[in-house]
Amino acid sequence: MVSETVDSLATPARQRAAVFCPTPFLTVTIEDVSGSPDIHIHAGGQGVWVGRMLRALGVRPVLCMPCGGETGRLLGPLLEAESLAVRAVEAAGQTAAYVHDRTGGERNVIATTEPPPLGRHEADQLYTAMLEAAARADVAVLCGPASEGVLPEDTYRRLPADLHALGTPIVADLSGAVLRDALSAGVDVLKVSHEELLADGWACDESTPQLVTAMERLHRAGAAAVVVSRAHEPALALIEGRLLSVHGPVLQRVDHRGAGDSMTAGLAAGVTRGVAWTQALRLGAAAGALNVTRHGLATGERAAVDALAERVEVASLDAGVRRGPR
């Protein structure tokens, strides 16, 4: 069963994004306000965080996700309250959830449940929901599963190929085995962190030459454009044969979580707006920079992101940068 909340399928395709969100979470965060606990309940997970920032940037995201059990039933109303459209696939397993305690300033995990594997029919329904949403969208954003075994192994090999057949540009924020699968079909924009490049063996260290070599390998493997986030360091990009560095404002950090997803949303928003690559990079960097100043993950306002984007410098990377071992 597939249901949709908020936006109807009649919504004009202009500036609409289909977001593949295979592992949403129900999140409970406990914070301290004047010595008393303050409890926040939200929908979360990579796809939700990308969708939240897309909405803030004026794009209409449609989140394609499975929902099941008591926790899953809460996601619809929570997302509806944020004006986020959902193509929800009813799942037998209970939607994953976590409880975090931030009363001491740092996030302490109290409890976490893992995303359950989707049954064959559930996986088919989720796949179909994504194709339907992407056929009506200006961009498709592929987010990865939070754990292995949630989806059939061939999902990320088939889905990019089918999205290409629909003519929908693909922005992917993936790592691990699903990244390699997606690259075999090709993606238009890949956003990846330098930590993920190290963990997956694309780079041997975090030096610029090694990361440049990794970006070139990813390009040859199937990513038309590659953007690498580097925490507080300038992001790197390989676009249309040009190596670029992206210098955004370094703002005081409240919480770094969600910054990478905000950057992905900014890049996808740039695709929907049809702006030049340099401007899309500025949007991505600005969205990520704003995110770290806020307690809410992947939150912000379009006016603030657009204003910060004017302070982002995109420069050609030194032509003399030496590549690392291939």
Q: What is the pLDDT of residue 15?
A: 81
Write out the two tokens for 13: 């395709």
Buried b (16+ CB within 10 A) or exposed e, 154-187: ebbbebbebbbeeebbbbbbbbeebbbbbbebbb
Asked if residue 121 is part of any domain, the answer here is yes
Q: Is residue 4 pLDDT above 90, yes or no?
A: no
Asked if residue 326 is part of any domain, the answer here is no
Question: Average pLDDT for residues 53-69, to the nearest whole number?
Answer: 95
Alpha carbon of residue 310 to chain centroid: 23
Question: Average pLDDT for residues 267-283, to the nearest whole number?
Answer: 94
Sign of CA dihedral 224, 230, 235, 241: negative
The whole-angstrom separation of Cα 137 and Cα 13 is 5
Question: Average pLDDT for residues 142-161, to the nearest whole number?
Answer: 96
Asked if residue 322 is part of any domain, the answer here is no
Q: What is the pLDDT of residue 249?
A: 77
Question: Average pLDDT for residues 301-322, to the nearest whole number?
Answer: 80
Least confident of 7-11, 34-38, 110-114, 211-215: 7-11
Q: What is the pLDDT of residue 106?
A: 81
Write out the two tokens for 186: 């090709």
Q: pTM (2 decimals)?
A: 0.89
Asked if residue 321 is part of any domain, the answer here is no
CATH number of the domain at 169, please. Answer: 3.40.1190.20
Binning pLDDT at 50, 70 and 90, where does residue 13 land? very low
Q: What is the pLDDT of residue 92?
A: 96
Write out the two tokens for 86: 């959902």
Write out the two tokens for 110: 């109290």
Asked if residue 115 is part of any domain, the answer here is yes
Q: Determine contact, residues 17/268, Cβ cutoff 8 Å.
A: yes
Question: Higher model confidence: residue 99 or residue 12?
Answer: 99
Q: Which residues pair with 150 in a beta bridge?
A: none
What are residue 269's phi and psi, to 5 degrees?
A: -65, -40
Rounded to 5 degrees, what angle do the CA atoms 85, 90, 91 make? 130
Q: Is residue 1 pLDDT above 50, yes or no?
A: no
Q: Is residue 7 pLDDT above 70, yes or no?
A: no
Q: What is the pLDDT of residue 296?
A: 53
Asked if residue 302 is part of any domain, the answer here is yes
The domain total for the chain is 1
Question: Average pLDDT for residues 80-109, to the nearest whole number?
Answer: 92
Q: What is the pLDDT of residue 117?
A: 97
Question: Higher model confidence: residue 205 or residue 258?
Answer: 205
pLDDT, averaged across the chain: 89
DSSP 191-260: EEEHHHHHHTTS-SSSSHHHHHHHHHHHHHHTEEEEEEEETTEEEEEEETTEEEEEE---PPPS--TTHH
Binning pLDDT at 50, 70 and 90, where does residue 258 land? low
The whole-angstrom separation of Cα 113 and Cα 319 is 47
Q: Which domain holds residue 237?
A: 2-316
Which of 14, 46, 262, 226 minimizes the C-alpha distance to 139? 14
Which of 95, 98, 97 minimizes the C-alpha distance to 107? 98
Which of 178, 316, 190 minimizes the C-alpha distance to 263? 190
Asked if residue 198 is part of any domain, the answer here is yes
Binning pLDDT at 50, 70 and 90, where does residue 322 land? very low
